[in-house]
Structure 1
Amino acid sequence: MKQLHTCASPARLVVMVSGAGSNMQALLEASADPAFGAQIVAVGADREGTRGLEIAESAGIPTFVEKLGAYPNREEWDGALAVKVGEFSPDLVVLAGFLKLVGPQVLTAFPGRVINTHNALLPAFPGVHGPADALAHGVKISGATLFIVDPGMDTGAILAQVTCPVFDDDDEASLLDRIKTVEREQLVSVVGAMSRQGWWMEGRKAGLC
């Protein structure tokens, strides 16, 4: 049976970052248009001093930091993160370059509403070295995947995928730059559509309404 999800209007986004926040910035710029259908209500991070937090603060968006090392174990960190994110009543939690695996307490608090973007065409090349692994395997096409997060590493139901070519003279940096371009475009497009139209899940499958 399909599980249907809808959002408030505009949808409330909590975006989680670990670094420069380029994907978050793309969502922020898109949300300036009311027709996009979503607004970023908070930006969180797992470390202090990231560029992503600076961008959010400059835009007047509330920010927060939950460091894994501030808690005695991952379970307590996950619980604290679920509480903090919940304070902003999000319709969607967007992991945009967030380099920590969220756990069962976050996923239970926001079932089917935590999404992540990955710089490879899943299920191939999961983990933090997707572009390098793709190059090592000699693939001719790479890209990015947007998926609904589950307890595994990059194993959730796939919402959307976008491709880009791999050239013979590519190194990891050049391929990653090309992937990032299409990844940002896909993230903005799909998050906007999810916010306006809703989405569905059925077993291993997911899509836009």
Structure 2
Amino acid sequence: MSKSFRIAVFASGSGSNFQAIADAVNAGKLDVHIGLLVCDRPNAKVVERAKQLGIPSFVFRAKDYGSREQYEQEILQRLESLEIDLVVLAGYMRLITEVLVKPLYGRLINIHPSLLPAFPGLDAIQQALDYGVKVTGVTVHYVDGGMDTGPIIAQQTLAITPEDNEATLAASIHQIEHVLLPQVIAQIAAGELKINKDS
């Protein structure tokens, strides 16, 4: 029997995307094993979700380390010891460095609540509203160390209505994320998606 495809999820907040991935696994729609949650906020709701799901977590405070590279080195060692095949950034609010990007390039993806390259960084939903665009959406992309740069894997659009505010738009975007992210993970796990490392 072949080894199951193992993923780690990085999250900083409520963990609704983490929950959506776990739900897809438990429903038999996603054939992967969630080996680890990585979270930089000990009080985040996602930590409680992981506990309830029986998924191991590595929870840390950045301020307890001398540098970003220091805690990333510890994270990398944990990922390697668990033989993680894919790392999914799902609402992880920290920029990551070459310590993780280099060894994981092509096996490290992020989900972002806009149609990249539009509205990278924080508050992407509010950025779209402030700019007055009529269409926004969700992007899943490979991580290359830049701010929401890296080759795009999948996007789904969403029309913004005149009635939308940040809360309503965020709710609609989360609904898309919760379907799109497990789909992309399934494609990667099945070997249908591969990054061209020379590009």
Q: TM-score range by the shorter chain?
A: over 0.9
TM-score, normalisation: structure 2: 0.93
TM-score, normalisation: structure 1: 0.89
Task: Determine the structure 1 residue equivalent to 2:136.
Answer: 142
* TM-aligned CA distance change 1:79 to 1:164, over 3 Å: same
- 2:171 partner amino acid: D
Is 2:14–2:46's contact at 8 Å kept on the other side of the alignment? yes
Task: Show structure 1 runs of 5+ residues with no match.
Answer: 1-7
Task: Determine the structure 2 residue equivalent to 1:3.
Answer: none
Structure with a larger share of its residues in strand: 1
For the residues of structure 1 that align with 2:83 and 2:173, how far apart are their CA atoms? 31
For the residues of structure 2 that align with 1:34 and 1:174, how far apart are their CA atoms? 30
Q: Calculate the aligned-residue CA RMSD, in Å.
A: 1.7
Higher relative contact order, chain-length normalized (CA < 8 Å, sep 6+): 1
1:1-209 to structure 2, matched below 5 A, reads: 9-34=3-28, 36-202=30-196
- The CA deviation at 1:173 is 1.3
- The CA deviation at 1:9 is 4.8
% identical aligned pairs: 35
Between stretches 187-196 and 78-87, larger displacement belongs to 78-87
For the residues of structure 2 that align with 1:45 and 1:67, how far apart are their CA atoms? 9
Is 1:9–1:196's contact at 8 Å kept on the other side of the alignment? no
- The CA deviation at 1:131 is 0.8
For the residues of structure 2 that align with 1:10 and 1:34, how far apart are their CA atoms? 13
After TM superposition, which residue ranges in structure 1, 4 or more long, deviate above 3 angstroms?
A: none
- The CA deviation at 1:84 is 2.5
Question: How many residues are paired up?
Answer: 198
* TM-aligned CA distance change 1:12 to 1:28, over 3 Å: same
Task: Show structure 2 runs of 5+ residues with no match.
Answer: none
